[in-house]
Structure 1
Amino acid sequence: MKVIGSWNFLIRLAIICCQLFPVTESSSVVVTQENYGDIIKSNDLVLLTFYVDWCRFSKLLEPIFEEAAAKVREKFPEDGRVILGRVNCDTEMELANMFNIIKYPTLKVTRGGVIHREEYRGQRSVEAFVEFVERELSDPIKEFHNISELQDEVADGLVIGYFMSKDDEEYLSYRRTARVLRDHCRFMVGFGEVSKDLHPPGKNLLIFRADSSSINHKEYYSEYSGNMTSIQELLYWTTVKCMPLVREITFENAEEVTEEGLPLLLAFYDKNNMDPVREFKTVIQSEFADENRINFLTADGARFAHPLFHMGKTKADLPLIAIDSFQHMYVFPKFADIHKPGVLKKFIEDLYSGQLHLDYHMDVDFDEEKNNTTEEVDVSPPVVHESKFKDLMPSKHRYTLINRTRDEL
């Protein structure tokens, strides 16, 4: 009798404890080598956190990510929409290598089954994660109802679809493409009567409209001529159009750009005069179409005034070109020389041959030689400064960094 009474008491105590401290099922999904393929293929959006248990930044993120996963599941309960998953890099090293994880925690995104090189780099809060998911699952295509709306759209790159109806299989492929590349391009569409005069009867049409600084006006408008039901072909065409050889660097994308590990060739410009930007893009596209050892970037001189100041330059010195190797900044002597065939190419080759770095170490000898001779010296000493863009690389105050060694250029 005594035992039974004690047993009943323990049962009642367990019930009370469960009410006060409910056991909650994890809202995020454990992703492994075995299940990740099915997960990314069967969901419109997957946000993955790559972590290790011994990383303090991973431990700080864990409860935030879990709460966000619960709110996302509550907001989007239907299957196939979105999953927030976690990958333990100590036990899933193959997955970590596949996603090229070099710091913890890293947040990666897949859209429509496509793994993206880019990471989630927004604020690490429950609200920010939920807002990110909401934006990602919103319609990636803006519908226009009047042709005049297209004239009002200003974007670095704009893909415009002219379709007969929303039920068209080709339009569904266009939607999927837009979902995958929404961060790299703007997408618009017109249906039926609105666009019927802008495409051949019975045929849908896709047009790419380049940015306002496009230098080749023959390519300002480009028509897609491939198979509109082929996701692979659509993605390839749109990626080529929307991800230009020359990008604009901002404080928002600087961490992403610098993490690619390639030296930066930067064209600093005055936003009141965009002609040098067009000139720079012309030279890069004509001479460096196959160059993959360096990132070609334009930079607003007002926004990046600090690196200019560090190089002893001001707005009055714009336009200006410099290489940042993440060790040093090397100033290209004269912007106008980019139009001389091979001059800018040699500047880049001198970086990789080590000549720019050698000149840097010979700077003192050069000055001494110049001071000890009365003859005029034809060659100018290299203009070299410590890197400033390395300060925009992923911070050790936010990540546990691994594989941090790099060659000095």
Structure 2
Amino acid sequence: MNLFSSTKCIFFQVIMIFYVFYNPTDSGAVELNSQNIDMTLASNELVFLNFYAEWCRFSNILQPVFNEAADKVREAFPEAGKVVLGKVDCDRETSIASRFHITKYPTLKVVRNGQLTKREYRGQRSAEAFLEFVKKHLEDPIKEFHSLKDLENLDSKKRIIIGYFDRRDQPEYNTFRRVATNLKEDCQFHVGFGDSSKAMHPPGTPIIVFRPDVALSHENDETYKGGLVNFDELNIWVQEKCVPLVREITFENAEELTEEGLPFLILFHNPDDTESIKDYKAIIENELLSEKQNVNFLTADGKRFAHPLHHLGKSDDDLPLIAIDSFRHMYLFPDFKDMYKPGKLKEFLQDLYNGKLHREFHYGPDPSNNEDSNDIQVKFITSPPESTFKKLGPSKNRYTLLKDEL
């Protein structure tokens, strides 16, 4: 074999090794490991990850379905750098499992533009559902308006980010679009170009504005003051605006919120009651901001969540009302109107932390100085309602929990 042929052969082998290394199979999900995962995440707009263990029954059930979905996705989106369905054997790749905080098998996570999204995939586990999920994620997250009048009809119950640009090909808009792709589940994004937005910004100076959910909060519009080509800076600002201190719990996000492991302080309200929501949010932001690491502040449609109300001995006729779900028991705030008394909600939380709520549910109100505590305990022994929201946590029929989770 001459030198040219030998060199050509070596070159071909290197190309094949590189291809196999970053594209381990021609079909099914791509097997990811510590050598190829970072490049895969960095070089694709969307990476859908299946973290599994071979000994896990649920992982084995999902494996062929996920592989079939990978083939369907590859057929629908053949262009390089668009989307990859990848799988990680967590027994072999323990460092990756630790890096992504895997606590159950199988876990499905999404990475967009190199950044891990905070929400796992929790929908239907079929090839068709996975394909539709990918298609939805790859849709343009930004709606274009062609007149400022279009902005007058936006949903006042949604948090909105609006961009005013000269042209679509501006680097600032590329940054805006990447941020919108990452946070489209938390906010609505709108954009105007050229004549449709020129009245809102000086020529050559794009502007990005946050518009709050004015029907549900007392917040005001705010203009972004940072660098428009700095992705991290803009992403942090938008996330702070789009993910409020007080969130709404739904059946769709209940598992995600439950898995965070923090007690819930919940305002149950009628669907058309926006004033109590506004006031509740304002009080939380003014009085309980320091507690955000210890509790999830939530609102809930009292008609949709009638079951927890029933456990509290209440119905939608008693709305609005406030309760704590500690994931062991539920505790009712005595009187909704007391929310307006400074310090009352904070006192309610402190009574949870120090055990007073649990104690008083069992034995009645703490005795005064001239009362016999034994008499009160005998008179008021009872049991607080059990938590209902813990039942909305990860299903044992869908996951295998890690041994230290059992």
Change (3 A) 1:165 1:364: closer
Aligned to 2:164: 162
Matched position secondary structure for 1:336 = helix
Write the distance in 1 (CA, Å) between the matches of 2:197 and 2:404.
53
In the alignment, which residue of structure 2 is the partner of 1:245? 245
| C-alpha displacement of 1:202 | 2.5
Report the Cα distance in structure 2 between the residues aligned to 1:150 and 1:306, rounded to whole angstroms: 38
CA distance in 2, matches of 1:348, 1:211: 27
Deviation at 1:294, TM superposition (A): 0.8
User: Which residue of structure 1 aligns with residue 221 of structure 2?
Assistant: 221
TM-superposed CA distance for 1:146, in Å, is: 1.8
CA-CA distance at 1:137 after TM superposition? 1.0
Question: Are residues 166 and 350 of structure 1, via their aligned partners in 2, closer, same or farther at CA, if it must alter by over 3 Å?
Answer: same
Distance, in Å, in 1 between the alignment partners of 2:41 and 2:329 is 41
Per the alignment, residue 348 of structure 2 pairs with 347
Separation (CA, whole Å) in 2 of partners of 1:290 and 1:34: 42
**Larger deviation, residues 393-402 vs 186-195:** 393-402
- Map of 1:76 onto structure 2: 77
Per-residue deviation, 1:237? 0.5
CA distance in 1, matches of 2:136, 2:378: 66
Task: Tell whether 2:141 aligns with 1:140.
Answer: yes
Give 1:345 deviation, angstroms.
Answer: 1.0
Give the aligned partner of residue 6 of structure 2: none
Matches within 5 A, 1:50-65: 50-65=51-66
Residue type at the aligned position of 2:166: M
Q: Show the 5 A alignment for 1:315-334.
A: 315-334=316-335
Which piece of structure 1 moves more, 359-368 or 103-112? 359-368
User: 1:337 offset after TM fit, Å?
Assistant: 1.4
1:39 paired to 2:45: no
1:107 corresponds to = 108
State the partner residue of 1:266: 266
Structure 2 residue aligned with 1:15: none
Which residue of 209, 212, 215 corresponds with 1:210? 212
Whether the aligned pair in 2 keeps the contact of 1:331 and 1:384 (CA below 8 Å) is: no
1:189 equivalent in structure 2: 191
Alignment of 1:15-30 (within 5 A): 25-30=26-31
How many residues align structurally?
375
How far did residue 27 of structure 1 move?
Answer: 2.7
Asked if the contact 1:213–1:277 (Cα under 8 Å) also holds between the matched residues in 2, the reply is no
Shift of the 363–139 alpha-carbon distance from structure 1 to 2, 3 Å rule, reads: same
Contact 1:330-1:382 within 8 A present in 2 as well: no
User: TM-score scaled by structure 1?
Assistant: 0.87
Say if 1:359 and 1:382, in contact at 8 Å, map to a contact too: no
Question: Which whole-Å CA distance do the structure 2 matches of 1:363 and 1:303 have between them?
Answer: 31
Secondary structure in 2 matching 1:220: coil
Q: 1:340 to 1:240 in 2, by over 3 A?
A: same
Which 10-residue stretch deviates more, 59-68 or 337-346? 337-346
Secondary structure of the residue that 1:119 maps to in structure 2?
Answer: coil
1:12 corresponds to? none
Percent of aligned pairs with the same amino acid: 50
CA positional deviation for 1:212? 3.0
Could you tell me how far 1:26 is from its partner in structure 2? 3.3
Cα deviation, residue 214, structure 1: 4.4
What's the counterpart of residue 369 of structure 1?
A: 375
* Distance in 2 separating the partners of 1:290 and 1:35: 41
Contact 2:362-2:383 within 8 A present in 1 as well? no
Counterpart AA for 2:388: K
* 1:309 maps onto 2:310 in alignment: yes
User: How many angstroms does 1:72 deviate by?
Assistant: 0.6
The residue that corresponds to 2:277 in the other structure is 277
Kindly indicate whether the alpha-carbon contact (under 8 Å) linking 1:45 and 1:111 is maintained by their aligned counterparts in 2: yes
The separation in 1 between residues aligned to 2:377 and 2:381, in whole angstroms, is: 13
Q: Secondary structure at 2:175's aligned position in 1?
A: helix
Q: Aligned Cα RMSD in Å?
A: 2.2
In 1, the alpha carbon distance for the partners of 2:44 and 2:245 equals 31
Q: Taking structure 1 as reference, are residues 381 and 161 closer, same or farther at Cα in structure 2, changes over 3 Å only?
A: farther
1:382 to partner: Cα distance = 9.1
What does the per-residue CA deviation read over 1:85-144, in whole Å, with 9 as the maximum and x for residues that have no partner? 001111111211211111111100010000122101111111111111111111111111
Q: Where does residue 336 of structure 2 map in the other structure?
A: 335
| Contact 2:324/2:331, CA 8 A, preserved across alignment | yes
Which letter does structure 1 place at the counterpart of 2:107?
T
**Structure 2: distance between partners of 1:279 and 1:369:** 40
DSSP-derived class of the 1:207 partner: strand
Structure 2 segments unaligned to the other structure (5+ residues)? 1-24, 368-372
